[in-house]
Amino acid sequence: MTDLAQFKPVTVYVTYIASTPEKVWQALTDPAFSQQYFFGFAVAVEPKTGGRFALLYPDGRTHVRGKVVDWSPPHRFACTWIVEGMPGFAELPECIVTYDIDRAGDAVRLTMTESHSWDIPETILAGGRAGWPAILSNLKSVLETGQPMAIAMEPPPGFMEAVQKAIAEKPWSRGRGG
Amino acid sequence: MSKPCFVYVTYIAAEPEKVWQALTSKDISARYWFGYNVNSDWKPDAPFALKNSEGKTTDEGVILECDPPRRLSYSWHPQYEEFRNERPSRVTFVIEPLPGQVRLTVTHEDFDEGSKVFESISDGWPMVLSSLKSWLETGAALPPSWTKTHKQVIAAAEARA
């Protein structure tokens, strides 16, 4: 069971989109839609709180799996994330990704919040901080123009090493009082 | 405690020159910056002013770096009464060309801890830069979408300015 109170927001990205909350919701939860902007990943989600969540490679393998912790269409979608598609990454503690969709005048404000339950190193956070602007810029473009961008992305310097170090040392298991 | 620093990255399907033009043109900025417009000769040490749609200067500064179409930096000193006692901060735009798009990174830094200007720009930049992206990609800027609180803060500040 995920104890939500343990998670602190560490990365926030806000974008404003000329769209409606319903269309943004669809973009976040529809597999064919997410493939256009999310580095080709298809979102697979059971539409209920407690349901299963996954991001799938085009060949159907799992990149990310998790659980839906908030399913409140069209305003809030939150799920846990465990990265399975990269060697060793599944040993990292799960994080929570929350999307908040608010009307802002005639536009929509989309806020992505990445929350963690442990003192995660900046070098690992840099991975998400590089990825989210690309993903969410692209989502905005697809909704406003119908044209996705092809954005190439490499892990930031030191990212893979920092993940392997964390997996080896397991800093999240210290100081929790058993 | 680290000093406040705001960083925002966005990808825009446009040429670097178009992004540069949008960042430095008074007329274009008025389109996507909700009526506010940038004014400068865009040379190192030249004055910079952000004016509202009535022509009143809301933010003053000096051009610190100007390397078209890659890198632009200016100091930022809001003229609103509750912000004027803070020292000028610094905003830097970096435009990186990529195939079919640019990566625009906006860094706004040099704030004191607890800066009210920092709170205000952290709200403001995502709106302005989202609108810039929309304008460059679709030809239509975003409608003004200030949150209620932000709108009240700005309206009150303008009334007192």
Reported as a single tens digit per residue, the pLDDT across A43-99 is: 999 999 999 999 999 999 999 999 999 999 999 999 999 999 998 999 999 999 999
Rg of chain B over Cα atoms, rounded to whole angstroms, equals 15
Q: Tell me the β-bridge partners of B2.
A: none
Average pLDDT over residues B100-124: 95
- Helices assigned H by DSSP within B4-107: 16-24, 26-32, 81-84
Angstrom distance (rounded) from CA B130 to CA A111? 13
Contacts for A174 with CB less than 8 Å, ≥ 6 apart: none
Pick the closest to residue A143 from A34, A27, A2, A28 (CA basis).
A27
- A133–chain B nearest CA distance, Å: 6
CA distances from A117 to A7, A65, A129, A167 (A): 4, 17, 17, 15
CA distances from A122 to A15, A162, B37, B130, B142 (A): 23, 9, 36, 26, 33
Q: What rounded mean pLDDT belongs to chain B?
A: 92
Other CB atoms within a 10 A radius of the CB of residue A107 amount to 22
Give the number of beta-carbon pairs within 8 Å between A and B.
70
CA distances from A8 to A4, A49, A113, B12 (A): 9, 20, 10, 30
Kindly tell me if the per-residue pLDDT of B154 is higher than 70: no
> For a pLDDT cut of 90, what percent of chain B falls above it?
83
**DSSP code of residue B86:** S
> For a pLDDT cut of 70, what percent of chain A falls above it?
97
Reported as a single tens digit per residue, the pLDDT across B61-95 is: 999 999 999 999 999 999 988 898 999 999 999 99
Q: Whole-model pTM? A: 0.93
Yes or no, beta carbons of A107 and B146 under 8 Å apart: no
Residue of A nearest to B14 (CA): A149
SS3 label, residue A64 = strand
Kindly tell me if the per-residue pLDDT of B145 is higher than 80: no
Yes or no, beta carbons of B9 and A133 under 8 Å apart: yes
pLDDT value at residue B7: 97
Which of B145, B148, B149 should we substitute to test contact with A (largest number of A Cβ atoms within 10 Å)?
A: B145
Of A106, A145, A149, the CB nearest to B101: A149
Residue of B nearest to A19 (CA): B142
Average pLDDT over residues B20-48: 97
Element (H, E) at A112: strand A107-116
**Domains parsed from chain B with CATH numbers:** 6-160 (3.30.530.20)
Pick the closest to residue B39 from B61, B68, B15 (CA basis).
B61
pLDDT value at residue B144: 79
pLDDT value at residue A178: 41
pLDDT value at residue B130: 97
Kindly tell me if the per-residue pLDDT of A157 is higher than 80: yes
Kindly tell me if the per-residue pLDDT of B153 is higher than 70: no
Find the farthest-apart pair of alpha carbons in chain B and give their distance in angstroms, rounded.
47
Angstrom distance (rounded) from CA A9 to CA A117? 9
Predicted confidence band at A174 (pLDDT cuts at 50, 70, 90)? Answer: confident
Kindly tell me if the per-residue pLDDT of A29 is higher than 90: yes
